[in-house]
Amino acid sequence: MERSWAMPNMATFSIKPIKKFVEAELASCELVIDPFARESRVADITNDINPAFDTDYNIDALEFLQTFEHDSVDAILFDPPYSLRQLKECYNGIGNPLTQRESRQFYSDIKKEIARVVRNGGKVLSFGWNSGGIGKNLGFELTHVLLVPHGGPHHDTICVSEMKR
């Protein structure tokens, strides 16, 4: 586990210690996908539900993940909205009301689909306000944690690397 202070930024992968973490963890990965890319172009194939972002796809993250074959992806960047409030803001921002599915099952449905598409030995890098990641119950083993405190009233960003076993 590491800890490295940095200023906050909505562009998660532009934060220096997080950028370094991502580069090191993805060094040996060939096919990397990002279902919540926003403006990030770190992954080989990107998606964001908001059509204002220049990504390869602009569809719901679950729908995006369902386009991939079982065990077909080397790594996934899992940087979703960190809370239900942020999720609601994302959906409302594009004129889609948050449905009951999103508010109750959003994260669990996405995690199950991530577990389906990542190959054995593949990685998931998760970012958020908790260290839950994808989890042991879905076949993942925790390999690395980076805490990035931002000071003052800002939440830390917790970066988790897991490998599918």
pLDDT beyond 90 at 124:
yes
pLDDT beyond 80 at 69:
yes
Q: Which residues pair with 32 in a beta bridge?
A: 75
Mean pLDDT on 140-162:
96
Q: Distance (Å, rounded) from C-alpha 29 to C-alpha 71? A: 14
CATH superfamily of 2-164: Vaccinia Virus protein VP39 (3.40.50.150)
So where are the chain's domains?
Answer: 2-164
Buried/exposed code over 83-116 (b: 16+ C-beta within 10 A; e: otherwise): eeeebeebbeeeeeeeeeebeeebbeebbebbbb
Q: Which pLDDT band holds residue 81 (cuts at 50, 70, 90)?
A: confident
pLDDT beyond 80 at 141:
yes
Mean pLDDT on 93-100:
70
pLDDT beyond 80 at 149:
yes
Longest dimension (CA), the chain: 43
Q: Quick one: tokens of 80? A: 């979703």
Mean pLDDT of the chain: 92
Q: Which residues pair with 142 in a beta bridge?
A: 162
pLDDT beyond 70 at 150:
yes
Q: Look at residues 57, 81, 79 and name the one whose alpha carbon lies nearest to residue 68.
A: 57
pLDDT beyond 80 at 83:
no
Q: Look at residues 27, 11, 46 and name the one whose alpha carbon lies nearest to residue 144.
A: 27
pLDDT beyond 70 at 101:
no
Q: Which pLDDT band holds residue 30 (cuts at 50, 70, 90)?
A: very high
pLDDT beyond 80 at 93:
no
Q: Distance (Å, rounded) from C-alpha 9 to C-alpha 125? A: 18
Strand 73-78 vs strand 118-128: parallel, antiparallel, or unpaired? parallel
Q: Tell me if 149 sits within 8 A of 156, measured CB to CB.
A: yes
